[in-house]
Structure 1
Amino acid sequence: MTTPQDAQPGVPSAGRPEDIRAVPVRHPGRWVAVAVIAVLAAMFVKSVVTNSALHWDVVTQVFADKTVIAGLQKTLLLTVLSMVIGVVGGILLAVMRLSKNPVLSGVSWVYIWIFRGTPVLVQLFFWNFLGAVFPKVGLGIPFGPTFVSWNYNDLISGLTVCVLGLGLNEAAYFSEIVRAGILSVDEGQAEAASSLGLTHAQTLGRIVLPQAMRVIIPPAGNETISMLKTTSLVSTIAIVELTRAGQDIGNRTLYVIPSLIGVSLWYLLITSILSVGQFYVERYYARGTNRVLPKTPWQKVRENLFSRQVHAQPGGTA
């Protein structure tokens, strides 16, 4: 009979496998790439910080300028209003596009075809100068008398033109996002809801759209960030938003590049906030599909900095 004292070194005892010593895989290429990137990044930062032509003191002044802050507020207002129109209009267009009624489906297809097929800048010009074609806007009986009318330029202000141009264009793109999300939901869900007596509207609002949100949210977040930057186009019709405010300061002081850098820092700040918000919204709607929710940025940092993980195969010891 063999006793633990008689067992030879390196030979596993009966009933218990030998402990496995896990050796981390070496990745020298990664460290070389990290070193190269670190050197290039250091060179870039040094050239930017020490370049006297950038005038960082002017950048800070532009960043906090009252005109720039007012332009930022108008940019945020345009983004919110345009996205509200885009989201509501996109959902309606997507539902119409998926309708079995050929008229509704055809109208939706034509709308999307026109607004996706023409540049948004052209659409802004169109809404801005539409008063030359229709100087009066009225309400009345179709093909009959008009009861009340307004002058187009008095009724449609510059801000309204921008919201219409950006929002209606966004609706065409957002409708395809919503349509893709609805089509990603299995048809059996709608059939089950119908068997329970739910109407089409109830099925769409309570069953289909909540499940489609995990597909809709990522591109919707991208569209929101894109809309924030697309608002810079309204400067072409004399609306002073964030980009136009920076341009005016640059043209007036001749510090064009520092002014644009100051404006760009605001865009980077807002898009970063929107990206964080998008992450948490995606995480919220991933609860029903993922057993383990995606880790938050802080959880990843805490895990990498404060946790020590030992990778071993089953049966091994840490």
Structure 2
Amino acid sequence: MKKVLGNKWYIFLLSAPALILLAAFVVYPIFNIVVMSLQKTNGLTPPEWIGLENFKTLLQDEAFIRANLASLGLCLLAVLCNAVLAIIVSILLCTLGPRTQKILRTAFVIPLVLSISVISQLWLTIYHADWGLLNYFLKMIGLGFLQNEWLINPKTAMICIAIVGMWWMFGMDLLMSYSGIKAIPESYFEAAQLDGAGFFNTVRYITLPLLRDVAKTCVTVSAIGGLFTFPQVFIMTGGGPGDLTQTVMMYMYRQAFSNQRYGMASAVGILVIIETCVVLGGIGWLFRQGKYRED
């Protein structure tokens, strides 16, 4: 085995299938998108080379800027209300009895096993202005004055979209953080208890430091999920009314399949890739800073 692993040709040969798949399904599509972003094309007529004109147009387009800010806002909300809240809930969950933990863990994970399409249709009926469950419930408890057209009102539409995505993804973050806490040796907590450490000191000096890598994964997954929000917007509002609930993914979809501006859509994709790399780099930097301070 050492002889095989020490031979570079064997390593290349064993890696070749994965490298071919990577080149075919990752490298080539990204290269193709970069080329298309520098062209004006509708997919039917021959493409016209226009250089960086698509990017200039995007950066001057108010609709794109609003959609991008909406996606960044959803990204921040997903991190705060999914990753951070899931870690807090999982810490509290571990203080309960085994039977209660099992019931609550199952309840939180159930939405995750459903398709986002099903989830969106479910919440669409909840938010419906005329016969939706939310307005009906508010009327039943005497808060009828709070009834609203949730997906049309500019003050509530984007919040409603955010709630759907966070409710769907919350179980994943909770499951990861809960599993991470359970992987910490019980002897650490027993030693802290013998030393007289309280609940908050135990969480601060044992749970959170040992949960750093899991927390980083939760934050990363939540940030990407918020930034790439699309299915619930497409199903529930279509980005409307107007572009009220339009995210950057919805904007790219409209440019490609409604306006047949594939070069413009490719430019949006390139900007989103760069933006995602910046966000992930920022997350990695924050967690590295936290590690150095503790060390």
For normalisation by structure 1, the TM-score amounts to 0.65
Greater C-alpha Rg:
1
> 2:269 matched to which residue of 1?
264
CA offsets 1:137-182 (integer angstroms, 9 cap, x no match): 339xxxxx83433454346732122111111222211111211321
Check conservation: 2:83, 2:218, Cα contact below 8 A: no
Whether 2:137 is the aligned partner of 1:137: answer yes
Q: In structure 2, how many angstroms separate the alpha carbons of the residues matched to 1:83 and 1:128?
A: 24
One-letter amino acid of the structure 2 residue matched with residue 170 of structure 1: M
Whether 2:63 is the aligned partner of 1:67: answer yes
Alpha-carbon shift at residue 26 of structure 1 (Å)? 10
Pairing of 1:41-52 with structure 2 (within 5 A): 48=35
CA offsets 1:247-276 (integer angstroms, 9 cap, x no match): 334456432x11321221221011110221
CA offsets 1:79-136 (integer angstroms, 9 cap, x no match): 2113311124312442354344256414422323311111223223322321434233
Q: In structure 2, how many angstroms separate the alpha carbons of the residues matched to 1:167 and 1:249?
A: 27
Equivalenced residues, count: 257
> 2:242 matched to which residue of 1?
none
Pairing of 1:116-131 with structure 2 (within 5 A): 116-130=112-126, 131=128
Pairing of 1:182-261 with structure 2 (within 5 A): 182-231=181-230, 233-238=232-237, 239-250=245-256, 253-255=259-261, 257-261=262-266
Partner secondary structure for residue 211 of structure 2:
helix
Higher helix share: 2
Provide the aligned C-alpha RMSD in A. 4.0
- Using CA pairs below 8 Å that are at least 6 residues apart, which structure has the higher relative contact order? 2
> 1:168 matched to which residue of 2?
167
For normalisation by structure 2, the TM-score amounts to 0.69
Check conservation: 1:128, 1:161, Cα contact below 8 A: no
> 1:159 matched to which residue of 2?
158
Identity %, equivalent residues: 14
> 1:302 matched to which residue of 2?
none
One-letter amino acid of the structure 2 residue matched with residue 60 of structure 1: F
Check conservation: 2:75, 2:222, Cα contact below 8 A: no
Where does the alignment leave 5 or more consecutive residues of structure 2 unmatched?
1-5, 42-46, 238-244
Q: In structure 2, how many angstroms separate the alpha carbons of the residues matched to 1:219 and 1:244?
A: 24
> 1:281 matched to which residue of 2?
286
